[in-house]
Amino acid sequence: MSQMLDFNEAAAKALEAMYLTPDVVAQSARVLDLLAPRPGEKIIDIGVGPGLLAEDLARLVGDTGRVTGLDMAEPMVKMARTRLAALPQADCVVGEATALDFPDGAFDAAVSTQVYEYVADMPKALRELHRILKPGGRVLILDTDWRSVVWHSSDEARMARVLDCWDGHLADPHLPAKLGALFARAGFQVRRVEVVPMLAPQWQPVSYAAGIMRTIHGYARANGAAKGLGAEEIQAWYDDQLRLAERGEFFFSVNRYAFLATR
Ligand SMILES: C[S@@+](CC[C@H](N)C(=O)[O-])C[C@H]1O[C@@H](n2cnc3c(N)ncnc32)[C@H](O)[C@@H]1O
């Protein structure tokens, strides 16, 4: 049984902190390069989260453009609205990626980072995305494939059990491998695919790796029992990582995949 993350207020704050780390800031810069937003465009950010990318998008489309952030979680929409308050060309709505409440052809472009991996019905979500884009409209989707993780541990079997539990936080922890075919079936043309690595060859307390380690620790404590993971084993996994960090032996890497497609 999988158990999705609860995007409540505490999770919104933790996500925001992780998204302000240099690794994720670099990812956002690449996403913006690939999407290439232009002044005057109407862009939707699906699963807007804390609104960091939407803020950059709003500045790039300028006051003749429009950025709409959509998220199913009210705490996320609240945080994004606060961040975007000084930008009248941006707004945020509560909504569901598989049932977009916008007219056909409403947007020039769409972006969605780390969201569709949470969506169970991808054909429906992509049909909706296709419908709300103008003909020729661009979409940039970025998601993680957790099979790509390389994470040093003193106990590989325990690490595998913890990561197996963590896979349960997503509808599909291996979405990128299927995304090209899903796009094609929904009528999109894939223009470019890139790997965006989250790489920590050594321990940095302010990094994506440190943030995700804490998030996995919390998730496994709450949901590990269903996977046969006891509290002691989870703590031993976490303590091992801190010891490796102290000894200069920490290593973490996972790949995200960015797909640029057109309607
Ligand atoms: C990991 S966060 C990513 C946030 C943001 N896109 C970013 O990269 O900073 C995932 C976000 O997707 C939202 N989300 C997940 N499933 C969704 C769905 N089916 N419809 C709308 N939003 C969804 C969550 O509420 C959460 O804010």
The residue whose two tokens read 């409440």 is 101
Which ranges of 142-230 does DSSP label H, i.e. alpha helix? Answer: 156-167, 176-185, 208-223
Domain contains 1? no
- Using CB atoms within 10 A of its CB, is residue 189 exposed (0-12), middle (13-18) or buried (19+)? exposed
Which ranges of the chain does DSSP label H, i.e. alpha helix? Answer: 9-19, 22-35, 52-61, 74-83, 122-132, 156-167, 176-185, 208-223, 231-246
Domain contains 19? yes
Domain contains 218? yes
Domain contains 4? no
Domain contains 214? yes
142 backbone dihedrals φ, ψ, rounded to 5° = -130, 130
Ligand 1 centre from 37 Cα, in Å?
21
The Cα–Cα gap between 80 and 14 comes to: 14
| Per-residue model confidence as pLDDT tens digits over 21-65 | 888 889 999 999 999 999 999 999 999 999 999 999 999 999 999
Question: How many CB atoms neighbour CB 124 within 10 A?
Answer: 14
CA-nearest residue for atom 1, ligand 1, is 114
Ligand 1 centre from 15 Cα, in Å?
10
Domain contains 2? no
- Structural domain containing residue 96: 9-262
Yes or no: say if 11 and 33 are a contact pair by the CB < 8 Å rule.
Answer: no
Task: List pocket residues of ligand 1, CB cut-off 6 Å.
Answer: 7, 15, 19, 47, 49-50, 52-53, 71-73, 76, 96-97, 113-115, 118-119
Yes or no: say if 179 and 117 are a contact pair by the CB < 8 Å rule.
Answer: no
Q: Binning pLDDT at 50, 70 and 90, where does residue 2 land?
A: low
Structural domains in the chain (count) = 1
CA-nearest residue for atom 8, ligand 1, is 113
| Per-residue model confidence as pLDDT tens digits over 68-92 | 999 999 999 999 999 999 999 999 9
Q: What is the mean pLDDT of residues 105-120?
A: 98
Domain contains 114? yes
73 CA: nearest ligand 1 atom: 25
What is the domain-level CATH number for residue 65?
A: 3.40.50.150
Percent of the chain with pLDDT over 90: 88
52 CA: nearest ligand 1 atom: 9
Domain contains 208? yes
